[in-house]
Structure 1
Amino acid sequence: MKAILCQQYGPPEQLVLADVPSPEATTGQVVIQVEACGVNFPDTLMIEGRYQFKPPFPFSPGGEVSGVVTQVGEGVSHLAVGQRVFSLTGHGGFAEEVVTSAATTLPMPDGMDYVTAASTMYTYGTSYHALKDRANLQPGETLLVLGAAGGVGLAAVQLGTLMGSRVIAAASTDEKLAICRQLGAAETINYTTENLRDRIKELTAGNGVDVVYDPVGDRYAEPAIRSLAWRGRYLVIGFAAGDIPSIPLNLALLKGASIVGVFWGAFAQREPKISMQNFQQILARILSGQLKQHIYKTYSLAEAPTALRDLMERRVVGKAVVTVNS
């Protein structure tokens, strides 16, 4: 089979398309013929050696796939050969086949296409867990989403709107913010041309925001925390802008605020029952049309390095997806 391989840490341009042996399923595993694979920020960290999990060389990036089960290992009873599935693989998805845990593999609902299925778990899973479980977002509250045009950002915009909050979307271009408005944002901030704190103060009549959803970090974190309302919650999602910020903790004290970490992957492993309940609610909203992933572009397997580069250069609005056997 063909796979995109990372043979040493470095930029996407060092990845190679190569022939490798097909995988075999062992106990508790399945092999999936990959139809589509989502492109996510952790993929870019993994190939550069900056992610907390470091697979042995050579490895394929690609942490969420959709496809068809071709092998079932011992002890797997809820999946069968020929079944359409989507799966959280962690890595290995930029390939024609991937072996993965059956525990993180779910049957695809009827009516769902492969591209949608391969672009759902990371974005909506992370954002719903963040807003529901970690922030306890309430109807009528104000939610600020930084990096709002990215995959998890747009998911947070949509989910926050469905949960009854007033969503303020912040991104780097007016074109990106137009997409955010289409997907439910009530207000927008271009933090390239506008002062983030001043604009938040203006939009909230000086009261601040109840929840900050921050997958960006870097220089945007502190002004966002300074813009929290009393008892506000700042959600630490990730650091797509590069640097991990140092936060003056007196800000949390003065505002009675909470700085809350969000690690959806660990949550899904440690609290699988609640995670599955969340995901069933997400799927119901997708199938009903309440949630719709914004697909920036689909790429062939050979174009997977380009997809990663586009993500790193912040050209991707919403989700990029690699299609393999489709």
Structure 2
Amino acid sequence: MTGTTPTSTSAATVATEIVLPGVVEPNGLEVRTRSLPAPAASQVVLRMDATGVSFAEQQMRRGKYYDQPPFPFVPGYDVVGTVTATGPGVDPALTGRRFAAVTKTGSWASHLLIDAADLVPVPDGVAADAAETVVVNGITAWQMLHRLAAVRPGGTIVVLGANGGVGSTLVQLARHAGITVIGTASARHHDAVRALGATPVDYRDPDMYARIRRLAPQGVDAVFDHVGGPGLTQSWQLLRRGGTLVSYGTAATKDETGNSRLPVLKVFARLLLWNYLPNGKSAHFFNIWAGRRRLETFRRRLSEDLTQVLRLLADGVLTPQIAARIPLADAAAALELAESRTVAGKVVIVPGE
């Protein structure tokens, strides 16, 4: 991403940002305007074309995300945008081109500063809102399915929350790889889950796990569980010998008060214990940021995986699951809608007028 010349392009940029001031309801989000400093060496200014609401922001507003920064801060886990200025050492030819990036925070803004090394090109012809649906969701789904669980064609998996942002992407990637999918969702989303190629099961059914076992009596190759809580044991029991449980969230405890790290640490401990059992099964907690201490390797792997997912989107293999498009100024409404659990896919935030 970096060039060999010190040439840079920069101009005063005024950014509109959505600020999370503390533990508040969605309508407690604040809007601020500030002048961004000129991009430093290896940085660019990225104009936001699309960002979105993930489960991380829903946890952050409760102060429940595992390693969120102290309040106040600008949320926004990922972004698709256009480079408008480059700092010293960055190729000026990047200006005007569209990229995707994972940021963890900071993307709920009209403009943001970002390291050029974190940019992943978006293929020509792919709309910003479509690309946004598969940035953090796509990387998470791809790495869990292909890097962590390594499910082979012909296998069977269970996806909890198959109508959600990560879940719907995971279903599509698995079906493309020749994998059978059983997906949980509320009854109103079953048609959508079927359209993605999965067999739906009602997550509100008290016999949900028994129904899944009847669909896969020999056990499944992997379970992808973002819920955690007591049901995690049931997910573990669905696995055949040699199967893999991938836990990637603690939605069951999102409304609990207390230490934000405790639910995750409890899951870690349980998964670690299960890995010592002599049954050939394995259990893992997926964190997209694992391995970031080896920054170059982390960036290369993330770029490779997101490039794969964006290419599948461009080729029509993946269908973007957009629940709604809401202007940045109405970010509170976007967060509230995402938390309502009434929509399928991802709530996308766009610049607006």
User: Which amino acid is the alignment partner of residue 178 of structure 1?
Assistant: D
Alpha-carbon contact 2:160-2:167 (below 8 Å) kept: yes
- The reply on whether 1:286 has 2:295 as its aligned counterpart is no
In the other structure, the counterpart of 1:192 is: 204
Alpha-carbon contact 2:51-2:108 (below 8 Å) kept: yes
Structure 2 stretches lacking a partner, 5+ long: 1-14, 255-262
* CA displacement at 1:11 relative to structure 2: 2.7
Alpha-carbon contact 1:267-1:275 (below 8 Å) kept: no
Cα distance in 1, alignment partners of residues 347 and 253 from structure 2? 20
- In percent, how many aligned pairs have the same letter? 31
* CA displacement at 1:4 relative to structure 2: 1.1
Q: Secondary structure at the match of 2:312?
A: helix
* CA displacement at 1:96 relative to structure 2: 1.3
- The reply on whether 1:312 has 2:339 as its aligned counterpart is yes
User: Which amino acid is the alignment partner of residue 129 of structure 1?
Assistant: Q
Alpha-carbon contact 1:6-1:15 (below 8 Å) kept: yes
Q: CA deviation digits over 1:195-253, x for unaligned, max 9?
A: 1221122101x211110011121232111111111111000111223264654846972
Distance 1:273 1:67, change over 3 A: closer
Q: Secondary structure at the match of 1:271?
A: helix
Alpha-carbon contact 2:131-2:310 (below 8 Å) kept: no
Q: Secondary structure at the match of 1:109?
A: coil
Cα distance in 1, alignment partners of residues 49 and 304 from structure 2? 26
Alpha-carbon contact 1:35-1:325 (below 8 Å) kept: no
Distance 1:259 1:126, change over 3 A: same
Aligned runs of 1:84-103 on 2, under 5 Å?
84-103=98-117
Aligned match of 2:51 in 2, 27, 37?
Answer: 37
Q: CA deviation digits over 1:78-108, x for unaligned, max 9?
A: 8622222222222121121111121211222
Q: Secondary structure at the match of 1:21?
A: strand
User: Which amino acid is the alignment partner of residue 62 of structure 2?
Assistant: E
Distance 1:257 1:93, change over 3 A: same
User: Which amino acid is the alignment partner of residue 26 of structure 1?
Assistant: A
* CA displacement at 1:279 relative to structure 2: 2.2
Alpha-carbon contact 2:274-2:283 (below 8 Å) kept: no
User: Which amino acid is the alignment partner of residue 49 of structure 1?
Assistant: G
Alpha-carbon contact 1:36-1:325 (below 8 Å) kept: no
Q: Secondary structure at the match of 2:63?
A: coil
User: Which amino acid is the alignment partner of residue 181 of structure 1?
Assistant: R
- TM-score where L is the length of structure 2: 0.85
Q: Which range moves more in the overlay, 144-153 or 88-97? A: 88-97
Cα distance in 2, alignment partners of residues 125 and 46 from structure 1? 20
- TM-score where L is the length of structure 1: 0.91
Distance 1:130 1:289, change over 3 A: same
Q: Secondary structure at the match of 1:143?
A: strand
In the other structure, the counterpart of 1:265 is: 289
* CA displacement at 1:62 relative to structure 2: 1.0
- The reply on whether 1:242 has 2:253 as its aligned counterpart is yes
Q: Secondary structure at the match of 1:33?
A: strand
Q: Secondary structure at the match of 1:211?
A: strand
Cα distance in 2, alignment partners of residues 27 and 242 from structure 1? 42
Aligned length: 323
In the other structure, the counterpart of 1:219 is: 230
Q: CA deviation digits over 1:146-198, x for unaligned, max 9?
A: 11111001111111111111100012x1122221111111x221021251221
Alpha-carbon contact 1:43-1:62 (below 8 Å) kept: yes
Cα distance in 2, alignment partners of residues 190 and 99 from structure 1? 43
- The reply on whether 1:298 has 2:321 as its aligned counterpart is no
Cα distance in 1, alignment partners of residues 73 and 274 from structure 2? 43
In the other structure, the counterpart of 1:143 is: 157
User: Which amino acid is the alignment partner of residue 191 of structure 1?
Assistant: Y
Q: Secondary structure at the match of 1:314?
A: coil
User: Which amino acid is the alignment partner of residue 210 of structure 2?
Assistant: D
Alpha-carbon contact 1:169-1:180 (below 8 Å) kept: yes
Computed over aligned residues only, the root mean square deviation of the Cα atoms, in angstroms, reads 2.2
Q: Secondary structure at the match of 2:341?
A: coil
Cα distance in 1, alignment partners of residues 274 and 103 from structure 2? 40
In the other structure, the counterpart of 2:39 is: 25
In the other structure, the counterpart of 1:181 is: 194
Alpha-carbon contact 1:225-1:251 (below 8 Å) kept: no
Distance 1:223 1:105, change over 3 A: same
Cα distance in 2, alignment partners of residues 78 and 233 from structure 1? 45
Aligned match of 1:202 in 208, 214, 217?
Answer: 214
User: Which amino acid is the alignment partner of residue 321 of structure 1?
Assistant: V
